[in-house]
Amino acid sequence: MVYRERMKETPLFLPLRVGRYNLRNRIVMAPLTRRRATNDLIPTDIMRIYYGQRATAGLIIAEATNISWQAVGYPNSPGIFTTPQIEAWKPITAEVHEKQGLIFLQLWHVGRVSHPDIQPNRQLPVSSSAVKAGGTITTPGGTKEMVVPRALETFEIPQLVEDYVKAAENAIEAGFDGIEIHGANGYLPEQFLHDGSNIRNDKYGGSIQNRCRFMLEIIKNCCSAVGSDRVGLRLSPSGVVKDMFDSDPVSLYEYLISELDRFNLAYLHLMEPYAPLIPEERYRHYLKQVTPHFRKFYSGPMITNVNYNFASANEVIRTGHADMVAFGKPFISNPDLVERFRKNLPLTDWDKSTFYHGGEKGYIDYPFYNSR
């Protein structure tokens, strides 16, 4: 009786229509970079096992996946731009579908968050402007300081948009149910959005409308190619990692999200602040709570993410601020996270040392609760 009442009163377990799909629950597996692909960015068979283990999620958003060689910033992250890559994804999507799951692929271009040691022919990474990100990056030659990227020429940008479109089409060919554009976390689309990284004086720079142009062109063209009901977008309106900064992020994202509402997307995926907004004087104009503010600018399905637990996830859906909640690290160490939530079972802790390298360890060897 207690179990039945728990199910009845738990918003996370309610079905939801998202784009052309019916989700069996509102628990989303967040995109998680795990770097288990080959040196040629080809997905491996342990990735099939990994995603298949987690197919009870209402929706899996597969890890950030490179749209071209230029897009790469992290070795052994998968790609979706060559035939071998497309073919290697097919058994993975088939495994998820065999278990009645749904899976979208996150499309990725890191922009300036790369290095000549990683880029083809040791070329400079590209960005909206020749503005360097602070910090270091891991390369095949060791840890190195970030470099000043090359500012993209105006005439190059349509080809970049086409790279996203082709990657979206390749993802559908590989069996994915849809795609998510990675517009968060300091990568290329966000580098165009923020005036701390975009100092262009052409139609892609200056005003908020111009800085949003690249993102909106990606969305428009991907929707035309694969259907708006198979396209999602991830944003981090209060994200400050990788030296990201904007002088008026609230107005920027109010405009962008209002424009996105015209596209009838499968969903919008908003990240709450995931890095401390310090020093406070630098980020006092950033929102500490993102999802409640932007809900009123977007009428479609919305995912929220970052540091939710079972109780807070149910509450944010119950209030109407979001329709789904994405979980990241808990899904790494709990392949049966949905069942553990359903039955109020304890969660297994994750091993951070295995997040980004290694084979099966810390990847497909976390136990299901009922197998203990």
Catalytic machinery residues? 187
Q: Are 323 and 25 in contact (CB under 8 A)?
A: no
Could you give the CA distance from residue 44 to residue 359 in angstroms, rounded to a whole number?
Answer: 10
CA separation for the pair 312, 346 (Å, rounded): 16
Strands 21-23 and 16-18: antiparallel
Query: What's the rounded Cα separation, in Å, for the pair 259 and 80?
Result: 28
Adjacent-strand bridge partners of 108 = 66
- Cβ atoms of 155 and 146 within 8 Å: the answer is no
- Is residue 206 within 8 A of residue 200, CB to CB? The reply is yes
Question: In which element (H, E) is residue 223 found?
Answer: helix 213-226
Non-local CB neighbours of 261 within 8 Å, separated by 6+ positions: 297, 298, 299, 300
Q: How many CA atoms lie within 13 A of 200 on its CB side?
A: 26
Report the Cα–Cα distance between both ends of the chain, in Å, rounded.
Answer: 26
State the DSSP H helix or E strand holding residue 315, giving kind and residue range, or none if neither. Answer: helix 310-318
User: Helix, strand, or coil here: 6?
Assistant: helix
Parallel/antiparallel/unpaired status of strands 21-23 and 27-29:
unpaired
Q: Please give the full DSSP string across 281-308, using - where no structure is assigned.
A: HHHTTS-S--HHHHHTT--S-EEEESS-
Find, among 137, 98, 134, the residue nearest to 117 by Cα.
137
Identify which of 29, 78, 25 has the alpha carbon closest to the alpha carbon of residue 53.
29
- The secondary element (H helix, E strand) that includes residue 88 is helix 83-98
- Grouping H, G, I as helix, E, B as strand and the rest as coil, residue 247 is coil
